[in-house]
Structure 1
């Protein structure tokens, strides 16, 4: 029921408020536990993707079938995994961007930094993988640009060799 939503680069998400304030709030949440047997919960996640999922979970009516299916159709990742790079189809939601939500002078916290302070151990790994992904993407883009330029030049040369009548007909249909 509904579309599957995949959220990538959760470590770059922002929270309103200073880093100290949000860190203290999260540390208060970390102190909550079951007194008789802490292994029975509540379970405190430290990764940005899990914190994001928990935040969305609190916004959904998760005890109804509709809310449960909505939560099951949400997947969150730190960074952009390789299988998501190949899929493509990423989009940006403008209303969710920081400059749309907060005034420019307001303090904000980057979720990845806060998670690093409360016990998330993989920020260095994610940064390394992200830089590798970005380098690979720039190499691919430059290669595609060269191909596009080669096609453009070949097209110009082909149009120069054609008779002018044929070129006019092609221009009429927007093909030249």
Structure 2
């Protein structure tokens, strides 16, 4: 299944994709940079900056690793909704997930779906895109 993330709310998208992965489907999410986060931009970016301050006292290489690109942020969100640490099935479910910035040529011709319940309901200016969040928290150019 190929899911187009344009103008979808991140949390609702992640929960729907996690359910599909638990059922055994292969899921590819395209346009991860256009997925929206609801809430005020200032508070969202502030929460991410607080999250980035969490690190190891001994050595930064010991973790935790913080995702900064839109596709890795979304995949980490979905991983949090799967039983990744608890059951081996969670790791196999997560292995069936692919996330991309933009649309790669492998999936250009395939039909893309969107979840109706995950679409934004208000004006898009009230939401923040994952690309904006990534730029503020130090994501690489994509």
TM-score, shorter chain, exceeding 0.5: yes
Q: 1:58 to 1:49 in 2, by over 3 A?
A: same
What value does the CA root-mean-square deviation take over the aligned residues? Answer: 1.9
Q: Distance in 1 between matches of 2:105 and 2:99?
A: 14
* Number of residue pairs aligned between Structure 1 and Structure 2: 119
Instruction: Specify which structure has the bigger relative contact order, considering alpha-carbon pairs within 8 angstroms and separated by 6 or more residues.
Output: 2
Q: Distance in 1 between matches of 2:78 and 2:40?
A: 21
Bigger Cα displacement from structure 2, 64-73 vs 51-60: 64-73
2:51 equivalent to 1:9: no
The unaligned stretches of length 5 or more in structure 2 are 1-22
Determine the structure 2 residue equivalent to 1:23. Answer: 45
Higher strand content, 1 or 2: 2
Determine the structure 2 residue equivalent to 1:39. Answer: 61
Q: Radius of gyration: which is bigger?
A: 1
Cα offset, 1:66, TM superposition:
2.2
* Displaced runs of 4 or more, over 6 A: none
Residue 84 of structure 1 is aligned with which of 103, 107, 124? 107
The unaligned stretches of length 5 or more in structure 1 are 124-176
Deviations 1:24-79 (A, max 9, x none): 11111111101111111111111000000111111111121222211111111111
CA contact (8 A) 1:17 1:106 kept: no
Higher helix content, 1 or 2: 1
Residue 135 of structure 2 is aligned with which of 116, 124, 132? 116
Cα offset, 1:107, TM superposition:
3.4
